[in-house]
A and B are shown apart, each in its own frame.
Chain A
Amino acid sequence: MSENLAKFCPGCGYPITLLMLNKTLEKLGLQKQAVLGLDIGCALLAWNFLPINTFQTHHGRVVPTMMGFKRARKSSLCVALVGDGGAYAIGLQSLIHAAKRDEPIMVIVTNNTVYGMTGGQTAPTTLNMQITPTSPEGNIEEPFFGPELLKGIVKEGAFLARTAVNEPKQLMEYLEKAIQTQQAGHFSLVEVLSFCPTNWKTVGIGTIEKLNGLKETFKLGEL
């Protein structure tokens, strides 16, 4: 698959999402047209991972970058890969406007409830009372629901969904739907609940249990 040694932490959810994306693209014969934009966060580690055109952007800016690319090259299949921080904190404004304009790009949001690469700080999707380096007494805010927010903004034909890295069938189904949505000229966003054992400080089955626990807060399914 990839000849480059992946730099994701052992147990990270990103390789699962990426390999599923690649599998879907392969199935649909779209690896050549696909262009993968990466936000700055752990997503950036995928820069040389898949056999498709990939480039890094800036933190919170992958959505407007892919918007620009798609508008310049309509034949491309534009994918924006971003974490919960890049999508719902610093990049939220751009995300909302891309949804509002129905930009025909596909946004994959990796939700692990923390800022992984910088050491696990509070993110918009951090749960209430979750402990992080920037909320050592427990997060006082409530988590953010991205797809739900965009539901009130997107146009007819857009696709919004949430799945998880340990729901392979659903993940592949939603990725495929998102691609088809782009081909039909609409905006799509798939939020993927993902493992982060390094910052969750979990091991083995504990990581899976934590992810399954998140599903009680972040509901899986199409919106």
Chain B
Amino acid sequence: MLENKKKLLTGSEIVVQACLDAEAGVMYGYPITPTCEILSGWIATGKPSLQTEDEIAAGFAVCGAVLAGQKAFTASGGPGHVLLQDGMSMAEGMRLPFVIIVGQRGGPSSGTVIYSQQEVMLACFGGNGEGLRLVYSPATSKELYELTRQAFNDAWQYRFPAIVLTDGYLLKMKSGVDLSSLKIENISAHPLVPEDKIVHWPNIYTMEEELNEQIGLAQKDWEEISPLIAKAEILETTDVEVLLIAHGIVGSAVKEAVKQLRKNGIKAGYFRPITLRPFPKKDLDKVCGWESVKKVVVVESSAGQLARIVRDQLAPEIAVSFEYLQKPGLGIEVEEVINLFK
């Protein structure tokens, strides 16, 4: 019998392991459900950390750390995620490799401490910028690890804030995961404020034109790297009549539903954006553009945050009818998706 390399781990434990393996130097954080265990788990490793007075301080401490060339991250959700948008905005404006793991919980306000997919807009377009931040949405425990590793690498390589957008269910879920076979190289950090020369670095500009120019430069970089990062998972590539779109853990449920529907002769297909920003637009257009597709159903634990992005990203010349399964703050199970076809 092959030696079982799997370990029983919760999502939070996997995040801590990924940050360790990514050689993160420090975590700044504040206790908030469902990400408390990431903070206490990281602290238990003995690596540098600080529980700050609030999430705003945590966010700016991360900015400070990366400016000095230290890989840093934070973790939060719900109202904490709202506060972190302040620091993330600075990271967006100054192109800082800010890494955050967001555990979505019910919103708005204190909502629930449990689960939702209601922080998609916040992650993708929060702050007062143009949404130039990398957003990854893992569907499984293993992917949670891989995307957290990737977040650090992409942040430091491309200098955009990177958000691993997960949720309270995946963080608290325990399962057997084999991380031993993954060989991921780390992109190294470098001081953005160098030690051998002087930099002068604003994030406020005197005239509109200066800001516009800066944004243009960032957008240019963004366009260049988007095709390298945007990724989707697609199932059933032929004769799809009903295309189901979902992300994160709901994607896992939809994937299983599609498999079962196919067994029963229903021509369902599955498209899961693995990155929400940049969105895998090319794949989306291709899949929605198939002749056989009669309709698209966007499935999410929110009142349409993913749907909005999908409609926005879809090429206008592709005419397809949309339907929605929206359950803000509630989990969506395999059976519920299957029942759409009854």
Contacts and interface: CB of A to CB of B under 8 A. Distances in A.
A–B contact, 8 Å CB criterion (strictly below): yes
B110 A89 contact: no
Contact of B53 (A44, A56, A89): A89
A14 interface: no
Interface in B52-74: 53-55
Contacts of B43: 133-136
Interface stretch (A4-12, A74-82, A118-126, A150-158): A118-126
Nearest to A60: B54
Counting chain B CB atoms within 10 Å of each CB, the highest count among A44, A92, A121 belongs to A121
A67 B109 CA distance: 19
Contacts of A44: 110
A6 to B, nearest CB: 19
A37 to B, nearest CB: 13
A94 to B, nearest CB: 11
B44 A136 contact: yes
Contacts of B331: none
A119 B53 contact: no
Nearest to A122: B51
B289 interface: no
A58 interface: yes
Given A90-B54, A134-B43, A134-B51, A118 B36 contact: yes
A40 interface: yes
A90 B30 contact: yes
Counting chain B CB atoms within 10 Å of each CB, the highest count among A40, A56, A122, A124 belongs to A40
A58 B109 contact: yes
Interface in A90-147: 90, 92, 115, 118-119, 121-122, 124, 133-136
Contacts of B54: 60, 89-90
Contacts of A119: 31, 36, 40
A214 to B, nearest CB: 21
Contacts of B31: 115, 118-119, 121, 134
Nearest to A124: B53
Interface string A30-60: 0000000000100010000000000010111
Given A59-B79, A90-B30, A134 B53 contact: no
Interface in B7-60: 30-33, 36, 39-40, 43-44, 51, 53-55
A89 B32 CA distance: 13
Interface residues of A, number: 19
A209 B39 CA distance: 30
Given A59-B79, A90-B53, A90-B54, A121 B40 contact: yes
Contacts of B55: 90
Contact of B33 (A60, A92, A118, A135): A118
Contacts of A56: 110
A124 B53 CA distance: 8
A134 B30 CA distance: 10
Contacts of A115: 31
A118 B32 contact: yes
A89 B79 CA distance: 15
A124 B31 CA distance: 13
B31 to A, nearest CB: 4
Contacts of B36: 118-119, 121, 133
Contacts of B30: 90
B296 to A, nearest CB: 37
Contacts of A122: 51
B175 to A, nearest CB: 22
B84 to A, nearest CB: 13
B79 to A, nearest CB: 6
B40 A58 contact: no
Interface in B76-131: 79, 109-110
B166 to A, nearest CB: 18
Nearest to B44: A136
Given A89-B53, A119-B40, A121-B39, 19 more contacts: A40-B110, A56-B110, A58-B109, A59-B32, A89-B54, A90-B30, A90-B53, A115-B31, A118-B31, A118-B32, A118-B33, A121-B36, A121-B51, A133-B36, A133-B43, A134-B40, A134-B51, A135-B51, A136-B43
12 contacts: A40-B110, A44-B110, A90-B30, A118-B33, A119-B36, A121-B39, A121-B51, A122-B51, A133-B40, A134-B40, A134-B43, A134-B51
7 shortest interchain CB distances as A-B pairs: A90-B54, A133-B40, A121-B31, A118-B31, A89-B53, A134-B51, A115-B31
Interface of B: 30-33, 36, 39-40, 43-44, 51, 53-55, 79, 109-110
